[in-house]
């Protein structure tokens, strides 16, 4: 009998195909494990509604369950909505090391005002940076440039 903790640990190691240094546990995409009769149900939540990585993540989790010889399935839940607040501190550190500025602060919902918080350059650490575009190489990122070292970089935007 594989314990829930062991299942969570094993499936938590599945990497995000778009940011491979992060696991789904780091991201907070992995929501939990529960039992339905003889079946184990692993719940995951998408970062963005249209996140194209979800199908692959689901598949990888299924393969991990098979490897553990656990009879289970994967369920996608939308509520409560994913937020960058669920990203682990370890995950944020890994992101910076990978060259992506981690999310800062919390995104206010509903109001039209955007808070402009400093995003530090993940390469040289300078706080003197400029946003080039709200939208980057994937839904979860925006595109920035460092005014000190002049390097462009991705920022995992707060949601």
Partner 1 sequence: MNDLFVYTLRLGDDALISAQRTAEWIAAAPQLEEDVALGNIGLDQLGQARSLLQYAGAVEGAGRSEDDLAYLRDERDFLNLQLCELPNGDFAHAMARLLYFATYQQLLYDELRGCDDEQLAGVAGKAVKEVAYHVDHATQWVLRLGDGTEESHRRMELALDALWPYTAEMFESDELVRRLAVAVDPSTLQDEWTRRVMAVIDESTCGRPSASYQHSGGRQGRHTEHLGYLLAELQHVARSYPGATW
Return the structure tokens found at 10: 């094993």
- What's the chain's length in residues? 159
Our finding on whether 1 is near partner 1 (CB under 8 A) is: no
Cα separation, 63 vs 90, whole angstroms: 25
Who contacts 11 (Cβ-Cβ below 8 Å, separation ≥6)? 24, 30, 33, 42, 61, 64, 65
Is residue 139 close enough to count as binding partner 1 by CB under 8 A? Answer: yes
114 sits near partner 1 (criterion: CB under 8 A): yes
d(CA 61, CA 39): 14
Is the distance from CB of 25 to CB of 33 less than 8 angstroms? no
> Please, which of residues 29-68 interact with partner 1 by CB under 8 A?
46, 48-52
Which region among 17-25, 36-44, 57-65, 132-140 touches partner 1 (by CB under 8 A)? 132-140
Taking the least distance from each CB to partner 1, the nearer of 20 and 80 is 80
- 27 half-sphere exposure, CB direction, 13 A CA radius: 28
Shortest distance, position 153 Cβ to partner 1, whole Å: 14
Closest distance to partner 1 from the beta carbon of 6 (Å): 29
- The nearer residue to partner 1, 1 or 109, going by C-beta atoms, is 109
Indicate the residue among 7 and 87 with the shorter CB distance to partner 1.
87
- Number of Cβ atoms within 10 Å of the Cβ of 94: 18
Q: State in angstroms the smallest separation of the CB of 74 from partner 1.
A: 15
Which residues of this chain interact with partner 1, rule CB under 8 A?
46, 48-52, 77-83, 107, 109-110, 112, 114, 132-139, 143, 159
């Amino acid at each position: 009998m594989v314990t829930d903790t062991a299942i969570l640990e094993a499936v938590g190691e599945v990497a995000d195909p778009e940011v491979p240094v992060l696991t789904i546990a780091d991201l907070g995409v992995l929501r939990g494990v529960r039992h339905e009769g003889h079946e184990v149900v692993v719940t995951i939540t998408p970062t963005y509604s249209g996140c194209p990585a979800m199908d692959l993540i689901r598949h990888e989790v299924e393969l991990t369950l098979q490897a553990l010889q656990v009879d289970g399935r994967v369920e996608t839940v939308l509520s409560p909505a994913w937020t960058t607040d669920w990203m682990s501190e370890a995950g944020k550190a890994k992101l910076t090391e990978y060259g992506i500025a981690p999310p800062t602060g919390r995104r206010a919902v509903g109001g039209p005002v955007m808070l402009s918080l400093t995003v530090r350059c993940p390469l040289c650490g300078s706080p003197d940076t400029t946003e080039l575009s709200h939208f980057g190489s994937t839904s979860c990122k925006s595109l920035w440039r460092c005014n000190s070292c002049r390097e462009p970089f991705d920022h995992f935007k707060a949601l």
